[in-house]
């Protein structure tokens, strides 16, 4: 018998009936466990074995649950929870210019923080552990991510016109630089985020990219979201959006491009050869009737691809389990081929693909040395019984409401309906004022 003193100390040991690792072999363990120390996974294996080997400060046996890597939302605007349901059923440009931008002109840092905190609560409760966020007054999102315990890559959105956060491009770039200095390279970090080709002049795009290179940060923008955008690039630059970006020197593994709904064969080849990442946002693309990104073609070609909800105003939620299910169904329907997209591919987009989009390969899988970011689904929920294929269950059956546990950086943020880092009742009370604010300002 092992003497207790020989057991290795660790902070947290979580065991569950099923552990879906997403490791390179895509191992799925029965009666497995994950041991964490200092925010890092130190072991993944049979629960009985890990319980013998480790002396955890906290030992959590979830029983009939499925442990899997936390989902990664690779493109969102979390504070837009404030505007959820404020404008729906409209085309992108009308929606953006006549409804969203006018409301956003009235935003304050306090409101952005409040909206981001609600977004963090929604993400935590539905098993998302990391998100890539672009918005105005983005320090509020950074603050919400820091206090809620989520992992985040945040960027002040850069426009070719003044925003509530800065007067001109120089001030916008200075703001990004200051945020990076404040945040550093930890759980919440800064990135450089010009809005889109149609809102940013070439000088903004190239100078923002140079800043991302200088500070070694992710560079994130919207690209090729609609047919109109592609037509506009053709008209203004006589090039497709991806070719134009390539010519400006903006494509590399630090580039993460949201949407890419209409790539030509040449554009797909450019994405592969440059190592730029694309983020599939199926529900937003469906809701704004932007079209269907050729995800199976992108994957076949070898494009690095993540999955995002986009903002909760064009979705209208931040639930990555729903997004995975939608992605899997959409391409089957679009291509009339049930083998596309597979449940495994959908799960890969939301985990390993997200890790690549965020430039953090230590995310997206459960293995020694990886970040201790994971969630657990209740396998006794009516829609989770019986269980044959855990991957299919996570993608096709789960809704996100089965999440029992969310852990980031080794810390439990949510367990069985309770938030440990967010005062949710007071957040609900604060949201009452938001409705009045939207009504007052939407004209």
Contacts to Zn ion by CB under 5 A:
310
Are 150 and 185 in contact by the 8 Å Cβ rule? The answer is no
Smaller CB distance to Zn ion: residue 115 or 149? Answer: 115
Are 305 and 278 in contact by the 8 Å Cβ rule? The answer is yes
Smaller CB distance to Zn ion: residue 310 or 409? Answer: 310
Contacts of 204 (CB under 8 A, 6+ apart): 158, 159, 160, 169, 194
What HEC string does 305-329 produce?
A: EEECCCCCCCCCCCCHHHHHHHHHH
Nearest residue to Zn ion, scored by beta-carbon proximity: 310
CB of 196 to Zn ion, least distance (A): 9
Give the distance from CA 187 to its chain's centroid: 14
Strand partners, 306: 279
Smaller CB distance to Zn ion: residue 11 or 310? Answer: 310
CB of 21 to Zn ion, least distance (A): 31
CB of 141 to Zn ion, least distance (A): 14
CB of 343 to Zn ion, least distance (A): 25
CB of 315 to Zn ion, least distance (A): 10
Smaller CB distance to Zn ion: residue 18 or 279? Answer: 279
CB of 75 to Zn ion, least distance (A): 6
Smaller CB distance to Zn ion: residue 100 or 268? Answer: 100
What HEC string does the chain produce?
A: CCCHHHCEEEEEEEEEEEEECCCCCCCEEEEEEEEEECCEEEEEEEHHHHHHHEEEEEEEECCCEEEEECEEEEEECHHHHHHCCCCCCCCHHHHHHHHHHHHHCCCCHHHHHHHHHHHHHHHHHCCEEEEEEEECCCHHHHHHHHHHCCEEEEEEEECCCCECCECCHHHHHHHHHHHHHHHCCCCEEECEEECECCCCCHHHHHHHHHHHHHHCCCEEEEECCCHHHHHHHHHHHCCCHHHHHHHCCCCCCCEEEEECCCCCHHHHHHHHHHCCEEEECHHHHHHCCCCCCCHHHHHHHCCEEEECCCCCCCCCCCCHHHHHHHHHHHHHHHHCCCCCCCHHHHHHHHHHHHHHHCCCCCCCCCCCCCECCEEEEECCCHHHCCCCCHHHHHHHHCCCCCEEEEEECCEEEEECCEECCCCHHHHHHHHHHHHHHHHHHCC
Smaller CB distance to Zn ion: residue 92 or 173? Answer: 92
Smaller CB distance to Zn ion: residue 34 or 320? Answer: 320
Instruction: Find the radius of gyration of the CA atoms of the chain.
Output: 21
Smaller CB distance to Zn ion: residue 295 or 379? Answer: 295
CB of 134 to Zn ion, least distance (A): 7
CB of 77 to Zn ion, least distance (A): 6
Smaller CB distance to Zn ion: residue 77 or 404? Answer: 77
Smaller CB distance to Zn ion: residue 77 or 189? Answer: 77
Q: Which tokens in the block code for residue 403?
A: 């999440």
CB of 258 to Zn ion, least distance (A): 5
Smaller CB distance to Zn ion: residue 122 or 310? Answer: 310
CB of 240 to Zn ion, least distance (A): 20
CB of 203 to Zn ion, least distance (A): 22
């Amino acid at each position: 018998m092992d003497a207790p003193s020989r057991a290795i100390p660790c902070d947290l040991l979580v065991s569950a009936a099923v552990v879906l690792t997403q490791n390179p072999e895509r191992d799925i363990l029965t009666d497995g466990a994950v041991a964490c120390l200092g925010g890092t996974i130190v072991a993944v294996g049979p629960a009985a074995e890990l319980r013998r080997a480790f002396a955890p400060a906290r030992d959590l046996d979830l029983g009939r649950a499925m442990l899997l890597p936390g989902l990664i939302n690779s493109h969102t605007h979390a504070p837009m929870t404030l505007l959820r349901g404020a404008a729906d059923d409209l085309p992108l440009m009308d929606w953006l210019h006549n409804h969203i931008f006018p409301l956003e002109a009235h935003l304050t840092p306090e409101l952005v923080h409040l909206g981001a905190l609600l977004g963090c609560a929604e993400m935590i409760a539905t098993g998302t552990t990391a998100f890539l966020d672009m918005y105005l007054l983005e320090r509020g999102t950074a603050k919400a991510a820091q206090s809620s315990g989520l992992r985040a890559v945040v960027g002040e959105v850069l426009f070719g016109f003044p925003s509530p956060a800065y007067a001109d491009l120089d001030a916008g770039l200075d703001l990004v630089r200051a945020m990076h200095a404040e945040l550093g390279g930890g759980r919440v970090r800064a990135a450089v985020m010009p809005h889109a080709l149609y809102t940013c002049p070439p000088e903004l795009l190239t100078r923002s990219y140079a800043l991302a290179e200088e500070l070694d940060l992710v560079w994130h923008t919207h690209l090729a979201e609609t047919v109109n955008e592609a037509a506009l690039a053709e008209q203004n630059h006589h090039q497709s959006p991806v070719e134009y970006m390539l010519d400006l020197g903006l494509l590399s593994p630090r580039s993460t491009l949201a949407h890419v709904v209409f790539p030509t064969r040449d554009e797909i080849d450019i994405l592969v050869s440059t190592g730029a990442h694309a983020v599939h946002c199926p529900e937003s693309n469906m809701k704004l009737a932007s079209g269907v990104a050729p995800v199976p073609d992108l994957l076949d070609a070898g494009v690095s691809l993540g999955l995002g909800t986009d903002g909760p105003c064009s979705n209208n939620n931040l639930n990555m389990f729903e997004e995975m299910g939608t992605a899997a169904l959409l391409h089957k329907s679009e291509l009339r081929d049930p083998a596309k997209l597979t449940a495994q591919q959908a799960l890969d987009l939301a985990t390993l693909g997200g890790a690549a989009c965020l430039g953090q390969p230590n995310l997206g899988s459960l293995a020694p040395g990886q970040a201790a970011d994971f969630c657990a689904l209740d396998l006794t929920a009516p829609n989770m019984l019986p269980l044959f294929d855990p991957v299919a269950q996570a993608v096709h059956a789960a809704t996100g409401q089965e999440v029992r546990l969310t852990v980031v950086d080794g810390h439990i943020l949510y367990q069985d309906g309770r938030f440990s880092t967010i005062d949710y009742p007071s957040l609900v009370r604060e949201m009452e004022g938001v409705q009045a604010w939207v009504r007052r300002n939407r004209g």
